[in-house]
Structure 1
Amino acid sequence: MKNKTLAVWLTFLGGPLGLHRFYLRGFGDLLGWLLPIPTALGLYGIERVRLYGLDDQGSWLLIPLLGFTIAGCALTAIVYGLMSPEQWNRRFNRAASPEAAAGGTGWPTVAGIALALLVGTGVLMASLAFSFQRYFEYQIDEARKISQ
């Protein structure tokens, strides 16, 4: 039996590492194995900022990968949390009855949904702002080079 509350929290907290995919679909899930790649690239972008500063072009291309991965996992946690018990059990607990307790929504599930909404939105907005700011600064620098 796959518990919806546990899946929501695994998706929110361990989603960028694919933990929710392994919990729900097993270790044969390809996407579960691929999710750590953009996470690691984003963390490498943060390390590049620490080493080379904010003007490093590689960092402003890599950091948003981490943000978008976290935001996507937060959205997935929200989708899982908002599934009705019948949908949840039909999708992940096929042998159980549609009203089985594993697909139920309680206060811990609602707290996970709320936190995923809060953090996911914040991370998404920060990633977009960082990306656009660096892109437009780069465009201005290139325009200055051309005009000189």
Structure 2
Amino acid sequence: MKNKTVAAWLAFLGGPVGLHRFYLRGLADPLGWLLMVPTALGIYGIRRVLNFGQDDALSWILIPMVGFTIAGCSLTAIVYGLSSPEKWNARYNPGAASDALPGRTNWFTVMALATSLLVGTAVLMASLAFSFQRYFEYQVDEAHKISD
């Protein structure tokens, strides 16, 4: 029996490494393994900033990848948490009754929803702001080079 609350928390806490996908579909799920790629690239971008400074162009391409992955996994947690018990049990617990306990929403599910909404939105906005700031700074630097 796949529990909706557990899946929502796994999507929020371990989504960037595919934990929710592995919980729901098993270790053979290719998308679960693919989620690790942008996460690893984003973490590598953070390491590059720490090693080479903020002017490293590759890092400002890589860092938003982890942010967008976290935001996407937060959205997945919200989708899981908001699914009806009937829909959840039909999809992930096909042998269970449509109103079986693993598909029901409880306070832990609501906490996962609220936390995912709060953190996912903040990370998404921070990733967008970082990306646009770096892009516009790059454009200004290029304009200065042309004007000189």
TM-score with structure 1 length normalisation? 0.99
Percentage of matched positions with identical amino acids: 70
Where does residue 86 of structure 1 map in the other structure?
86
Q: Does 1:126 align with 2:126?
A: yes
Where does residue 50 of structure 2 map in the other structure?
50
Q: Does 1:27 align with 2:27?
A: yes
Where does residue 9 of structure 2 map in the other structure?
9
Superposed CA deviations along residues 54-110 of structure 1, whole A, max 9, x for unmatched, are: 111001000000000000000000000000000100111111110100000000000
SS in 2 for 1:57: coil
Where does residue 77 of structure 1 map in the other structure?
77
Distance 1:28 1:53 in 2: 38
TM-score with structure 2 length normalisation? 0.99
Q: Does 1:140 align with 2:134?
A: no
Runs of 4+ with >4 A deviation: none
Distance 1:146 1:91 in 2: 58
Superposed CA deviations along residues 33-60 of structure 1, whole A, max 9, x for unmatched, are: 1101100000000001101111110010
Offset at residue 3 of structure 1 (A): 0.3
Q: How many residues of Structure 1 are paired with residues of Structure 2 in the alignment?
A: 148
Where in structure 1 are there 5+ consecutive unaligned residues? Answer: none
SS in 1 for 2:33: helix
Distance 1:102 1:6 in 2: 9
Superposed CA deviations along residues 2-58 of structure 1, whole A, max 9, x for unmatched, are: 000100000000000000000001111100011011000000000011011111100
SS in 1 for 2:94: coil
